[in-house]
Structure 1
């Protein structure tokens, strides 16, 4: 397997992306090979870490392959709305969540509709979208509408007001920056069975040191080739928005993985990427300061200095 070598010039700072490539290489060469939920098989390591600075607008965008950051940004904004239906994402051309509802539709109806036909119908047919486009109470709902319950008499309970964790974090960052409770949690054990996919990037904790806001993201399960590039950008973007809303500067993103894996059918992508060297320093500017964390628009994000090498594609394991 061809593998790019780290630069030997120790006088220049090391590009953060070498951490990602080193992780990919270690998993592929030393990971435990086993069957998984998808039946495809993986090589995996447990308990991994990446760190990257977010100062001066820097963003953890991979340069050894193209990351479709626009889709990742639209997904993060979608999370913040609390929406759980893919219709609004598809209307923006974002198809990254289609596989799960499409698989369910095919399984339950026996209709071998193509993905493009399925997505077109979701966008155009409101009733079809309501029936087949909903993912259950995934990320966004837990983030901004975590369910509560209150007595309704005769031993029964009714749904109470939802908890907006994101709004609470913004408020706590402003009022009590030294708190150790700046947390957004997606792992609601009572609702996991209703989710199309239980949350992978499950726990975000934020930390203020001086005037800088850092984020530690714990991800219970991570597809390093396809999912992690999106997850890194999304977490960094969320941190940047929270920092702006709290009047802080961005600090560092610390990513921690539980089951950190590569799928066995991604070998061509992996070997091609490991033969490349990172370069460049992408940056993101927030061009507007909205009145709240929930008022950002895609047009508020401007990425510069991003000149990645060519796209590398591989199938998503469903």
Structure 2
């Protein structure tokens, strides 16, 4: 994962300070790109521990078309909790509950979760129902029937529904490519990237998606290319980034998928196994909402 560490170094060294929507302040760089060879190992960061369980459950949630955090909460995935909580705090139902109390209510009450746990038409909705189009199903069918197509694209950026999303999509467009050697590659364009907290998840998530699609299309995963618009390090992550950069990367883990799965919509957490993952300890950072 030297590519990722080099991105951190580039943004730190250029030291381009900007204000931002969250009023936290960032160091920002525009237009960097990373490339990962998926045949050299699964690109899960080793200079700090990344919660792979959360990566898997979030991707399954996206693939299903779900936009309510209850599935994530029920599986102890916390990465989306803050956004519906902030919305809840603005509602007349808010009774000074803490974030933990809010999440406990999501877990225990279907009706509460239905009313207060939805994020609006975010990723899963756009992947599976972009103005009535199931992009993910169409993509897989096209890869199988017309692998030379230059239209193997999924977009999460739907201008007509942005206003209804609690967080507009950061990773907005992906394109797939099938080589003559029957290898599948993915290129992601991400408009906005929290390099310390978000990008390690983004890399792992889209690498995993490439593996899953390759698996059901009888292809080999080849490359994941990650192009970023605004790549930024929040001011309150700078010390954590310096700790991470002091660490030497370890060998990459490998991914093992259940060979019996033939449909991408049938994958469950148990069907996706990460082997030989060794990392440095977790480094915590506060999410900017």
> Please, what TM-score do these two structures have when normalized by structure 1?
0.88
1:120 aligns with 2:104: yes
Distance 1:80 1:299 in 2: 16
Q: Deviations over 1:59-87 (max 9, x none)?
A: 11010000111101100000011111101
Gaps of 5+ in 1: 1-16, 148-161
Contact 1:266–1:314 (8 Å) recurs in 2: yes
Distance 2:243 2:207 in 1: 26
Equivalent in the alignment of 1:285: 256
Distance 1:69 1:228 in 2: 13
1:265 aligns with 2:236: yes
1:314 aligns with 2:288: no
Distance 1:71 1:289 in 2: 23
Equivalent in the alignment of 1:167: 137
Q: Please identify runs of 4+ aligned residues in structure 1 that moved more than 6 A.
A: none
Distance 1:217 1:289 in 2: 28
Q: Deviations over 1:142-184 (max 9, x none)?
A: 001112xxxxxxxxxxxxxx21111111111111101000011
Over aligned residues, Cα RMSD in angstroms? Answer: 1.1
| Partner secondary structure for residue 88 of structure 1 | helix
Displacement of 1:266 after TM fit? 0.6
| Partner secondary structure for residue 196 of structure 1 | coil
Equivalent in the alignment of 1:253: 224
Contact 1:183–1:205 (8 Å) recurs in 2: yes
Equivalent in the alignment of 1:6: none
Distance 1:219 1:252 in 2: 17
Distance 1:287 1:302 in 2: 8
1:86 aligns with 2:69: yes
Residues 31, 289 of structure 1: alpha-carbon distance in 2 compared, 3 angstrom cutoff: farther
> Please, what TM-score do these two structures have when normalized by structure 2?
0.97
Contact 1:35–1:42 (8 Å) recurs in 2: yes
Farther off after superposition, 125-134 or 34-43: 125-134
Displacement of 1:28 after TM fit? 1.6
Match of 2:23 among 39, 46, 68: 39
1:199 aligns with 2:160: no
Distance 1:107 1:71 in 2: 28
Distance 2:256 2:244 in 1: 28
Displacement of 1:288 after TM fit? 3.0
Q: Deviations over 1:104-160 (max 9, x none)?
A: 11133453311111111011112211111000000000001112xxxxxxxxxxxxx
Distance 1:87 1:137 in 2: 15
Contact 1:244–1:289 (8 Å) recurs in 2: no
Map of 1:40-189 to 2, 5 A cutoff? 40-55=24-39, 58-109=41-92, 111-147=95-131, 162-189=132-159
Match of 1:294 among 265, 269, 286: 265
Displacement of 1:287 after TM fit? 2.2
| Partner secondary structure for residue 100 of structure 2 | helix
Gaps of 5+ in 2: none
- Length, aligned pairs only: 287
